[in-house]
A and B are shown apart, each in its own frame.
Chain A
Amino acid sequence: MDARIGIRNTKSMLFKGLIVFLAFLITLPLIVVLLYIIKQGVTQVNWHFLTHVPTPVGEPGGGIANALVGSLLMVGMASVVSIPVGILTGIYLSENPHTKLAYWSGLCVDVLQGVPSIVIGIVVYLWIVKPLGSFSAIAGSCALAIMMLPIVIRSTEQTLRLLPPSLKEAALSLGVPYHRVIIKVIVPCGFAGILSGIMLSVARIIGETAPLLFTALGNSYLSYAVTKPMESLPHVIYTYATSPYDDWHNLAWGASFILLMFVLILNITTKLITRKWNIQL
């Protein structure tokens, strides 16, 4: 009997050791990549880098102001469309899970989430770039908005579905009309979850290159015109990293570092928000 317990304990220890080892193994490359980008990029970043546009080959200096502005502008425009539409769709799906419409739109959301981003780029190219006759920031943010929608929808839906039905009943039993129940009770109670879904979707699309290749294209100059081509962070990395010049490689490393910091900050903020605003049910 004692011997058997010994064997069992050893098995448990081995199993525990294995999962700890695997967790460590997974974390290691991530940290190495992170540190490498930071090491390569951090020396490039200074005020000049953030406020100037790239210089031609051979000229010193130059920065990524155009890409920074472009990325923020396009992600901003995509968010303005996707967040309200996504939240409302998410509310519909969580409130009416058994309707036909919910079944089909849920399916579409899943499929949309699985569509390769380059395909979305091509579709937006055919729908917007071609008719308008020019690559544009609007087309870029459309592609990003399509990428963003399914993430916002699903996270909203899943957050709201976890809320107990008794919460809604409590509000309804006080004579509160349905729309106010949703706005004043259901959404505030799921706020942390909805917000973290939004943050993660922003973090996701800010690094997307493929949908921007055929839509926003890129622009070596600082531009605020939404109907004209516009630079973006991932695209600047793509262009400069594939160039043969060391100066440009450094620029790409700097841009990578900035992009990484964006994503890192968004993720950390999300964690903090969910911890702080999470509502105890």
Chain B
Amino acid sequence: MEHTVVSASKFNAWFGDNHVVKDVSIGIEKNQVIAVMGPSGCGKTTFLRCINRMHELIPGATAKGSLKLYDDEVYNMNPIYVRYKIGMVFQRPNPFPNLSIYDNVVAGYKLNGLKMAKADLDNIVEKSLTSAALWKEVKDSLHKKGTFLSGGQQQRLCIARAIAMEPEVILFDEPTSALDPISTSSVEQLFHELKENYTLIIVTHNMQQAARVSDKTAFFYLGELVEFDNTKQMFTAPSDIRTQNYITGRFS
């Protein structure tokens, strides 16, 4: 048994009276790629946003139950610390439009007012952009605005921004749904490289993507975690009839 990074037990989340995540229990192991899939409105994105406590930013949103990062209860920690440890990449690339590419990568340090030596920052920028497979493309234009990049490059810049903070876990909320196929495949390739150092949790609408990139897949339906298993197992011999129906396209 490998080390568990994120674990939930009997975890629930609401928007007002709307119960969107129901009694979810899951254990996510280190250095794996986890795909979270399910039809629209099944609570998968909400669950993801609970992990780094972004869920509670929406007025009326509440959560209950146990959600742990290693041995610490996420909901007892300071959300700012949680978000240091658990990075996030969003559906649409959202680099800071007022910052250069360079500053975007170290935004987590600069915006938090952490003073660092220029050499250290340079180092972080190069390392993060290299890990995000973007260094070669942008190394000569680090001081241009991040928004000059193409959509796929912007998304990799956002990944670099998350990596720069050296989190334990990186959450991806449908990271390729706003990208073209070529950018999508470059981001997918990244997942394989990133899992050596990080644990990735990826919400996706795209079953082929889940099958391509993940080690394990979680299937959410109507707020419940229906099935959580090795991706291969899940796509070849799902144990729950609802999973099977979803995978074979009976509903979506």
Contacts and interface: CB of A to CB of B under 8 A. Distances in A.
A binds B: yes
Interface of A: 98, 164, 166-167, 169-177, 180-181, 184-185, 188-189, 191, 279-281
15 contacts: A164-B94, A170-B90, A170-B94, A170-B96, A172-B83, A173-B52, A173-B88, A174-B87, A174-B107, A175-B80, A175-B84, A175-B112, A176-B80, A176-B108, A177-B80
Contacts, number: 77
B19 interface: no
B81 interface: yes
Tell me whether chain A's interface is mostly helix, strand or loop, or mixed. helix
A191 B97 CA distance: 12
A174 B98 contact: no
Contacts of B95: 170
A177 B161 CA distance: 17
Contact of B97 (A173, A181, A189): A189
Given A176-B108, A280-B97, 5 more contacts: A166-B90, A173-B87, A173-B90, A175-B82, A280-B145
B147 A280 contact: yes
B112 A176 contact: yes
Cβ-closest 9 pairs across A and B? A175-B83, A173-B88, A174-B108, A166-B94, A175-B84, A170-B94, A176-B111, A188-B98, A279-B97
A173 B113 CA distance: 15
B203 to A, nearest CB: 14
Interface residues of B, number: 30
B142 interface: no
A173 B161 CA distance: 11
A175 B108 CA distance: 7
Interface in B68-103: 80-84, 87-88, 90, 92, 94-98
Nearest to A191: B98
B54 interface: yes
Interface of B: 52, 54, 57, 59, 80-84, 87-88, 90, 92, 94-98, 107-108, 110-113, 145, 147, 158, 161-162, 165
Contacts of A167: 94, 96-97
Residue of A166, A172, A181 with most partner-chain B CB within 10 A: A172
Contacts of A173: 52, 54, 83, 87-88, 90, 162
Given A180-B113, A279-B97, A281-B147, A172 B57 contact: yes
Contacts of B112: 174-177, 180
A174 B95 CA distance: 12
A216 to B, nearest CB: 40
Contacts of A189: 96-98
A176 B79 CA distance: 10
B97 A174 contact: no
Contacts of B110: 184
Nearest to A190: B98
Contacts of A164: 94
A174 B54 CA distance: 11
Contacts of B161: 170, 174
A279 B147 CA distance: 9
Nearest to A170: B94
B165 A279 contact: no
Nearest to A281: B97
Contact of A166 (B52, B81, B92, B98): B92
Nearest to B158: A170
Given A166-B90, A172-B54, A281-B97, A184 B147 contact: no
A77 B57 CA distance: 39
Contact of A169 (B59, B94, B97, B145): B94
Nearest to A277: B98
A171 B161 CA distance: 10
A186 to B, nearest CB: 10
A185 B111 contact: yes
Contacts of A191: 98
A172 B108 CA distance: 9
Contacts of A185: 96, 98, 111
In this complex, the member of A172, A173, A184 whose beta carbon has the largest number of chain B beta carbons within 10 angstroms is A173
B81 A175 contact: yes
A170 to B, nearest CB: 4
B90 to A, nearest CB: 6
Nearest to A278: B97
A134 to B, nearest CB: 47
A189 B99 CA distance: 9
Contacts of B84: 174-175
Question: Which of B54, B59, B107 has the largest number of chain A CB atoms within 10 A?
Answer: B107
A260 B193 CA distance: 64
A276 B158 CA distance: 26
A188 B97 CA distance: 10
